[in-house]
Amino acid sequence: MVEEQITNGKRIAQLLSSELDGRDDGVLEPVAVTNADADVEPTVDGERAYDVELDADGETTRLARVFVHEDRARVEFEVGQDRAAEEAKAVELRTRPKASQPPRTLLFVESGAEVKRATDVVQAVVRGEFD
């Protein structure tokens, strides 16, 4: 039996969105996928697909933006950058810092199989926002 690995950036981003949005329990309950571009198409440089926001105590904070490439999804963490990098290392996902103002941590999700681990990274960032 041959297992097909999902390596289409748009599909990976869709899977991640499904894991993050609409939870009604646990750490991800206050997380929402917002500003989604249903017509987004992958590009070499990456096109923004959606934002990931945290609604806590009546305040909304954008945690990250998700971009689609032809062969992966990229999550740009705007808050909790160090925590995102630490958790990504722990779950063996590739990251790198982005030298921008403010700085960001880039998380690369290169297959559908990595989506659950990417969700773990988002959960760690959310926990950090409540510490």
Task: Parse the chain into domains and list their residue ranges.
Answer: 9-130
- 45 Cβ partners below 8 Å, 6+ apart? 69
Which pTM does this prediction carry?
0.92
Kindly provide the b/e burial profile for residues 107-117, where b requires at least 16 CB atoms within 10 angstroms of the residue's own CB: bbbbbbebbeb
Share of the chain above pLDDT 70, in %: 96
**SS3 state of residue 44:** coil
Domain 9-130 grouped into CATH 3.90.1150: yes
pLDDT tens profile 46-92: 999 999 999 988 899 999 999 999 999 999 999 999 999 999 999 99
Q: Are 77 and 104 in contact (CB under 8 A)?
A: yes
- Cis peptide, bond prior to residue 97, ω within 30 of zero: no
CA distance 126 to 111: 23
**SS3 state of residue 49:** strand
